[in-house]
Amino acid sequence: MGVFGSVIFVHVILQGVILAKSARFMSLKGQWEKILPDKENADRIIAQMRELETKVKSIAKVIRSSPVIWAEKLNAISDNLPAGVWLNKITFTGNSFIIEGSAIATQKDEMINVHEFASHLKQDEKYLNHFPGLEVGSIQRRTIKDLELADFTITSKLE
């Protein structure tokens, strides 16, 4: 009888410990759920900071390692941009300088505008300095409502 009573006593004590631990777990879970949105927001901000730091480091690397005066290149691009042509994206990856843009057709001349832009860049010494040449990539036509557009890519390789 004494052993049976001891087993019941230990069982009751263990049930009390389990109940106390379960209550503590539920309390901590509630606290976690309250701070979870803030944690997710902080994680998102940290990820954005890391991404920006990576971009800044790559830009700093390009600026330090290259004798290219990028403002001069961008100015040459701006000066040679014909009417009806606009730029969507300019990227520098590895040793490739890539210009992506679109041209609008006023009288089915969007392809001429793209080639005119590329031709002007090929003749611009400020642009060609450090770039041995440039290549007009694919030109894709598309229609938006009644407007004809030509999306283009121009790639220049850094010396």
The rounded mean pLDDT for the chain is: 86
- pLDDT at residue 28 in the model: 96
Q: Is the pLDDT of residue 109 over 70?
A: no
The CA distances from residue 41 to 50, 87, 116, 147, in Å, are: 14, 34, 48, 42
pLDDT at 93 over 90: no
Does the pLDDT at position 106 exceed 70?
Answer: no
Residue-range domain boundaries for the chain: 1-65, 70-157
pLDDT computed for residue 136 by the predictor? 86
Cβ(133)–Cβ(122) below 8 Å: yes
Select, from the ranges 38-42, 64-68, 104-108, 123-127, the one with the highest average predicted confidence (pLDDT).
38-42
Q: What is the pLDDT of residue 95?
A: 77
Which residues have CB under 8 Å from 125's CB, separation 6+? Answer: none
According to DSSP, the residues that pair with 148 across neighbouring strands are 143
Which pLDDT score, from 0 to 100, does residue 110 have?
66
Out of 32-36, 68-72, 88-92, 141-145, give the one with best mean pLDDT. 32-36
Q: What is the pLDDT of residues 71-84, one digit of tens each?
A: 888 898 899 888 88
For the domain with range 70-157, which CATH number is right: 3.30.980.50, 3.40.1110.10, 3.30.565.10, 3.30.110.40? 3.30.980.50
CA 91, distance to chain mean position in Å, is 11
Residue 61 predicted with pLDDT over 90: no
